[in-house]
C-alpha cells in the first residue's frame, strides 16, 4: 500500500481569501445597493507595457515560421534574457553578476517554493512573522516545519516578529537558524530595509553559516536610497540567493516570468549551490516560453523601461493617496513608500477580522486581515495600491467619512 507525504495533511487549509470572499458575498447579499471597493487585491490591474506586447507579437511570428521556430529552450533561460538581467539589474548598479548566475523561471512563487529542494531536511528555517505564506508552507511540505501549533505557528520554525516596536524590521534570530527567508520591500507590511540593516543580516549569516533566501519581488517599487539587491551588500555573494520577478515590476502576474540569482561564490562544503539549483531546474523544469522571455527582455528596452516606470508610478501614487488619506483619518499607517502595500494598525484594539467587518460595514471597502499572514499580523490590516486611482480615491473618501 502506498503512503502519502503526511506533511501535506498537517497543512492547515488556506482559508484567508475564501473567508474574505464569503464575508464579502454575505455583505453584498444583505446590501445589494452598496458598491464594494476592493483594496485587498494582491494582483496587478494595469495591462502589459506596449513594448512588451510588441516583442511578444514578434516572437509569436517567429514561432510561426519554420526558419525561426523554437522548441525546448535552455532550462535556465535564453542567453539574451540572462544577459539583459545581469546587465540591467546588476552590472548597471555596480554589482558583478554574470549571466550564468541568473536562472530564469516562471516566477518567484515557484522559485522561493522550490529552493528548499537543494537544502538538507534538518536545516532550521527562520521566517518573518507576518510572512508571505509560501516560505512556511513549502518548508512544512518538506518536513522542516515540524508540527502545527494551536497559536498558528509551526513547532520547528524560528519566527522573527515584525511589529510596530521594531519598525517591522526583524531582529536577528535568537535561536540557531540555517535558512533565513527575508523579503524587502516586504509583503505584507510594505517595510523596507536599509544598507546597514541588511549588512547586519549578511554579517550574521556569514558568521553563523546560514544562507539568506532574499525575496526582492517588489524591488521595482523602491523610491528611497535603500538596497535594491542583497548583492549590493559586502559578503552577500557568499551567503545569499536572490529571487526577483517580472510580476509586479512589469505586470507579468498572468504571463509568468521571474528569476533567481545564485552567485558562484555561494558554496557549502565545497559544493556549488548554483550547480545544485541548475541540476534541480534542468531536472524538474523545462524553461519559460520563448515568447514570454522576449517580452521580459523588452522590459529592459528604453521604451519598456519608460512604460513600466509609468505604471509603477501610478501604483505608487495610489499608495500615497491611501497612506496619506488614512493618516488624515487618524489611522496609524506604515509602508506604501517603497512598496505597493499599506499596513495599518487597526483602531481601538480591534482584531484584524473585527476591523475587516467594520471596514466593509461602515465604508464598503475590502482589505486583507493582517492575522492572515501570521500571528504577529494580528491587529494590523493590509491595503494594496494595485487597484485604480478612482477606486483608491473613492475608498479613502468613504473611510474618512465613516471613521
- The one segment of 22-30, 102-110, 229-237, 320-328 that binds ligand PLP by CB under 6 A: 102-110
Cα–Cα distance measured from residue 103 to residue 260, given in angstroms and rounded to the nearest whole number: 5
User: Among 98, 123, 208, 253, which residue interacts with ligand PLP (rule: CB under 6 A)?
Assistant: 253
Nearer residue to ligand PLP within complex by CB, 130 or 304: 130
- CA dist., res. 251 & res. 68, Å (int): 27
Q: Is 127 in the site for ligand PLP (CB under 6 A)?
A: no
Lookup result for grid cell 534541480: 280
As measured in angstroms, the least distance from the Cβ of 122 to ligand PLP is 25
* Residue 192, all three cell numbers: 523596507
Q: Which stretch binds ligand PLP (CB under 6 A): 53-61, 107-115, 279-287, 377-385?
A: 107-115
Query: Footprint of ligand PLP on residues 40-69 (CB under 6 A)?
Result: 42
Q: Which stretch binds ligand PLP (CB under 6 A): 105-113, 149-157, 229-237, 387-395?
A: 105-113
Which H or E run contains 392?
Answer: helix 389-402
Q: Give the helix/strand (H/E) hosting 381.
A: strand 380-384
DSSP3 helix / strand / coil % (the chain, rounded to 5): 45, 15, 40
Tell me: does residue 249 bind ligand PLP (CB under 6 A): no
Is the Cβ–Cβ distance between 236 and 272 less than 8 Å?
Answer: no
Question: Nearest CA to 180 among 160, 163, 207, 164?
Answer: 160
Of 183, 250, 296, 365, the residue at the interface with ligand PLP (CB under 6 A) is 183
Q: By the 8 A CB rule, do 147 and 154 touch?
A: yes
293 binds ligand PLP (CB under 6 A): no
Tell me the closest approach of the beta carbon of residue 61 to ligand PLP, in angstroms.
27
Pairing of the two strands 125-129 and 158-161: parallel
Tell the smallest beta-carbon distance from residue 55 to ligand PLP (Å). Answer: 19
Taking the complex as a whole, the smallest distance from the CB of residue 189 to ligand PLP amounts, in Å, to 11
Question: Contact region for ligand PLP (CB under 6 A) — 46-54, 103-111, 114-122, 206-214?
Answer: 103-111
Q: Counting contacts by CB under 6 A, is residue 82 touching ligand PLP? A: no
Which residue, 113 or 347, has its beta carbon nearer to ligand PLP?
Answer: 113
Cβ contact 45:388 at 8 Å: yes
The reply to whether 227 sits near ligand PLP by the rule CB under 6 A is: no
CA 290 – CA 283 distance, rounded (Å): 19
132 binds ligand PLP (CB under 6 A): yes
Q: Does 340 bind ligand PLP (CB under 6 A)?
A: no
Cβ–Cβ < 8 Å for 156, 146? yes
Q: Which residues contact 120 (CB under 8 A, 6 or more apart)?
A: none
Report, in Å, the least distance between residue 280 CB and ligand PLP. Answer: 17
Where on the chain is the footprint of ligand PLP (CB under 6 A)?
42, 107-109, 112, 132, 183, 187, 215, 217, 245, 247, 253, 258
Amino acid at each position: 500500500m502506498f503512503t502519502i507525504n503526511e506533511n501535506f495533511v498537517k497543512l492547515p487549509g488556506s482559508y484567508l481569501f475564501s473567508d474574505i470572499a464569503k464575508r464579502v458575498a454575505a455583505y453584498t447579499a444583505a446590501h445589494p445597493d452598496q458598491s464594494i471597493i476592493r483594496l485587498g487585491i494582491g494582483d496587478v490591474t494595469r495591462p502589459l507595457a506596449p513594448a512588451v506586447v510588441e516583442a511578444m507579437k514578434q516572437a509569436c511570428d517567429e514561432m510561426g515560421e519554420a526558419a525561426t521556430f523554437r522548441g525546448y529552450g535552455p532550462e535556465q533561460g535564453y542567453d539574451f534574457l540572462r544577459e539583459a538581467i545581469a546587465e540591467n539589474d546588476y552590472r548597471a548598479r555596480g554589482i558583478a553578476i554574470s549571466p550564468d548566475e541568473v536562472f530564469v523561471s516562471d516566477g518567484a512563487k515557484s522559485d522561493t517554493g522550490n529552493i528548499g529542494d537543494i537544502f538538507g531536511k534538518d536545516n532550521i528555517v527562520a521566517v518573518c512573522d507576518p510572512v508571505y505564506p509560501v516560505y512556511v508552507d513549502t518548508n512544512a511540505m518538506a518536513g522542516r516545519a515540524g508540527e502545527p501549533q494551536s497559536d498558528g505557528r509551526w513547532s520547528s520554525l524560528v519566527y522573527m516578529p515584525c511589529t510596530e516596536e521594531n519598525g517591522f524590521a526583524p531582529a536577528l534570530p535568537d535561536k540557531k537558524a540555517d535558512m533565513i527567508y527575508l523579503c524587502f520591500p516586504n509583503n505584507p507590511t510594505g517595510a523596507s530595509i536599509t544598507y546597514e540593516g541588511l549588512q547586519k543580516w549578511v554579517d550574521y549569516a556569514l558568521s553563523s553559516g546560514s544562507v539568506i533566501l532574499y525575496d526582492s519581488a517588489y524591488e521595482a517599487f523602491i523610491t528611497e536610497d535603500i538596497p535594491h539587491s542583497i548583492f549590493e551588500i559586502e559578503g552577500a555573494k557568499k551567503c545569499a540567493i536572490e529571487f526577483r520577478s517580472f510580476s509586479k515590476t512589469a505586470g507579468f502576474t498572468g504571463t509568468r516570468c521571474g528569476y533567481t540569482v545564485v552567485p558562484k561564490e555561494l558554496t557549502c562544503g565545497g559544493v556549488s549551490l548554483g550547480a545544485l539549483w541548475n541540476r534541480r531546474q534542468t531536472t524538474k523544469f523545462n524553461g519559460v516560453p520563448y515568447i514570454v522571455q522576449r517580452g521580459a527582455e523588452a522590459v529592459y528596452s528604453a521604451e519598456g523601461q519608460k512604460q513600466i516606470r509609468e505604471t509603477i508610478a501610478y501604483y505608487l501614487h495610489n499608495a500615497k493617496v491611501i497612506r496619506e488619506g488614512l493618516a488624515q483619518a487618524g489611522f496609524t499607517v506604515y509602508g506604501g513608500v517603497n512598496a505597493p502595500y499599506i499596513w495599518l494598525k487597526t483602531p481601538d484594539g480591534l482584531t484584524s477580522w473585527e476591523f475587516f467587518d467594520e471596514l466593509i460595514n461602515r465604508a464598503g471597502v475590502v482589505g486583507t486581515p493582517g492575522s492572515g499572514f501570521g500571528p504577529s499580523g494580528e491587529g494590523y490590516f493590509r491595503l494594496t495600491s494595485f487597484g485604480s486611482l478612482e477606486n483608491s480615491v473613492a475608498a479613502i473618501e468613504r473611510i474618512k467619512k465613516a471613521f
